[in-house]
A and B are shown apart, each in its own frame.
Chain A
Amino acid sequence: MPGGDGRKIGTEALRYAVLAVFVVLLAFPFYWMLVATFKQNIDLYNVENNPFKFNLPPTLDHLKLLFNETRYVRWLGNTALVGVLVVFITLAFSLPAAYALARLTGRWGQRIGIAIFLTYLIPPTLLFIPLSRIVATLGLQDTIWSLVLVYPSFTIPFSVWLLMGFFKSIPRELEDAAMVDGLTRFGAFFRLVVPISISGILTVVIFTFTLVTQEFVYALTFISPESQQMVGVGIPIFLVRGDVYFWGSLMAACLITSLPIALLYNLFLDRFIAGFTVGAIK
C-alpha cells in the first residue's frame, strides 16, 4: 500500500501523544504530592520560585513532622484494624450466601443475586443520617466499631455478587462426587469449594480492604475524636490546624497512603471490572 507506512507512523505518533497527555493530566497530582513532600517550607511558600524545581535542597522535615508529631501512625493502625475485621465479617457472611445463591436456591438464586447487586446502588449519602442515629443508640459513636458494623453493609453485597459468579464456574460434578463419597453439603462447601476458590476469595479480601480505606462519608459522620480517625478522614480534616494547612506533611501523607492502596487495587482491578460489567460482555 503506497504511503501506508507514513500514515501508520502518523497514527502511532498521535496515539502516543494522546497517551502522554492523559498520563500527565491523571498522574500529575501524585507527582505534585511527591514534590511537596520533600520541599523546604521557604521554598514551598514562595510564589517567586519555580515550583517545578528544588530551589533549596530537599528536606525530610515534613515526613518527620508527619510521623512524630501527628496521629498519622495511629490512623494507619485504626484503618488496618477496621480493614481486617471488615474482611473477616464480609467473608463470613458472603461466602455461604454466594454459594447458596449459585447452587442451592434454583431459579430464585439469580433474581435474589440481582436484588443484592442493586442494594450496592444505594449510596452512603442516603443512609448516613439514619445510620448516625442507629450508631449513637448502640453506643458506638466516636469509635471505630461503628465502621466495623456498617462497612460490611456495602462490602457484603458486592462480594456476594463476585463470589456467585466464581462458584458458578466450578463444575457441579465435583461436589456431587464428594457428597456421594460421604461428605455433607457443608463438608463439600468447606473442604472442597472454599479451597479451590482461593483466588476469588483473595479478590474479595483485597476489594473489601481497599473499599474500607477509600470510604469517607461514614467515617466523617460517625467519628469525631482525632485519635479514632481513619486515614481517609484524618489526613484531609485533622492535618489542618484551624486554617493552617501543613501542605508538605499533608501531601506526604496522601502519597504514602495512596500508593500501596493503588498498587494493591490495580492488581485485582480487572476482576472488579468483570463484576461490574457482568451481562454487558459475554
Chain B
Amino acid sequence: MAVDDRKVGVFMFLPAAAYIGLLIGAPLLLAVLYAFSDARIGTLGFHFVGLENFRSILQSPSFRAALRNSVVFTVSAQIIVIVASSILSIALEPAFHGRWFVRLLILLPWVAPISLGAIGWKWILDSIYSVITWVLVWAHIFKPYGAPMWLGEPTLAMASVVLVHSWRLIPFSTVIMLAGRTSIPKEIPEAAAIDGAGFWRTEFLINIPMMMPIINVAVLFGTIFTFTDMTVVYILTAGGPFDSTQVLPSLAFATGIQGSDLAAGAAISLFLVPVLILIAYFMLRAAHLAEVA
C-alpha cells in the first residue's frame, strides 16, 4: 500500500517536474552555455569562445553603467518601499469605515499590470504636458517652459524610475507588513502601553523586532522584483538618456534581443545570478528557522 502510494505520487508529480525542468532548467543551462559562446539570432549553430563575452562586456561603458544603476535602483527602491510601507501599514491596521475601499485604492499600483501603470506615469512625466510641471509653474517654482524634462535628464530620470518602481512595490510590501502586524499578539503592545511605553518605544522595541521575519520576506521579494525588472525602465526611458537608467535586465534585452547578440545578452543576464543565489540562501534559512520554531 505504502509502496504503491509512492509510485502513484511520483507519477502525479513527474509531469509538473518535467514541465519546470524543460522550461526553466533547460533555458537556465542554455543561458550559461550561450554566455560562453558566439550565439546570434538568425544563425543556429554556435561555437564556444571561452570568456570572450565577459571580457568585452566588462570593458563596455554601457555594462558598467548598468551594473551601477542596477545597484542604485534596487537599494534605493527597497529603502523607500520599506519606510513607506511601514508607515502605511501602521495607519491601515485599525478597522475603520470604508477601509476596504481605501485598501483597494492603495493596492491599485500592484494589482494593475505594471506596463500600463508605467505608461500612465509616462504621461504624468511628459516632457511638455506633465501635470507635475504644470503645478510647479502654477506655484511659481519654475517659469513657463523652464521646468526640467523629468525623463530627459540623467539624475531626474533615475529618480523617476526609482520612484515609479517604488510606487509599484509599496502596496505589495504594505500588505505583507499588515499580515505581520496582525499576527502580533495584542496583549504584548497593550502590556507595554500600560507600563508606560509610548508610540515610538512600542514600535521600535516591540512591534518592529517582532515583525522582523516578515519584514525580511518583504525585503527579499522586493529585491528580486526590483533587481530583475526591466518593464519600468523599458517603458519610461528605454535605458536613456545616455544609459543613465540602463539596468542589467534592460541592457540584456537591448543587446541580446534587439541587438541580436544572444551570447552577450546571456552573459549580461548571468550577472543577476549571484544576487538571486544570495536571496535563495536567505529564504531557505528563513524557511528552516520557521520549521525549527
Interface residues of A (CB under 8 A from B): 11, 15, 18-19, 22-23, 25-30, 32-33, 36, 44-45, 47, 50-52, 92-94, 96-97, 99-101, 103-106, 112, 114, 116, 118-119, 121-134, 137, 149-150, 152-154, 156-157, 160, 185-186, 189, 210, 213-214, 216-217, 220-221, 231-233, 235-236, 245, 247, 250-251, 253-254, 257-259, 261-263, 265-266, 269-270, 273-274, 276-277, 279-282
Contacts and interface: CB of A to CB of B under 8 A. Distances in A.
B113 A280 contact: no
Contacts of B256: 128-129, 132
Contact of A282 (B44, B108, B129, B183): B183
B228 A126 contact: yes
Contact of A129 (B15, B269, B284): B269
B111 A129 contact: no
Interface residues on B, range: 35 or more
Nearest to B183: A281
A236 B224 contact: no
Contacts of B88: 18-19, 22
A18 B91 contact: yes
Among A11, A96, A245, max chain B CB count under 10 A is at A96
A26 B121 contact: no
Contacts of B175: 269-270, 273
A33 B120 CA distance: 7
Nearest to A260: B112
Interface string B48-70: 00000000000000000000000
A32 B131 contact: yes
Interface of B: 4-6, 8-13, 15-17, 19-20, 23-24, 26-28, 30-31, 34, 39, 41, 44, 84, 87-88, 91-92, 94, 102-109, 111-121, 123-124, 126, 128-129, 131, 134, 144-145, 167, 170-171, 175-176, 179-180, 183, 199, 213-214, 216-217, 221, 224, 228-231, 234-235, 248-249, 252-253, 256-257, 262, 265-266, 269-270, 272-273, 276, 279-280, 283-284, 286-287, 290-291
A245 B129 CA distance: 12
A261 B221 CA distance: 22
A282 B293 CA distance: 10
20 contacts: A18-B88, A19-B92, A26-B108, A26-B170, A28-B124, A96-B16, A116-B16, A121-B280, A121-B283, A123-B249, A125-B272, A130-B262, A130-B266, A132-B262, A214-B114, A231-B113, A236-B235, A254-B116, A265-B111, A277-B176
Contact of B16 (A25, A93, A266, A270): A93
A156 B128 CA distance: 44
Contact of B217 (A156, A221, A247, A280): A280
A252 B78 CA distance: 31
Contacts of A103: 5, 9
Given A36-B123, A130-B266, A247-B126, 14 more contacts: A22-B84, A26-B106, A30-B120, A93-B16, A100-B9, A104-B8, A122-B28, A126-B228, A153-B24, A156-B19, A276-B217, A276-B221, A281-B183, A282-B183
Contacts of B183: 281-282
A30 B230 CA distance: 21
Contacts of A221: 253, 257
A186 B213 CA distance: 39
A235 B116 contact: yes
A50 to B, nearest CB: 8
Contact of A44 (B30, B129, B170, B272): B129
Contact of B105 (A18, A26, A112, A150): A26
Contacts of B234: 216, 220
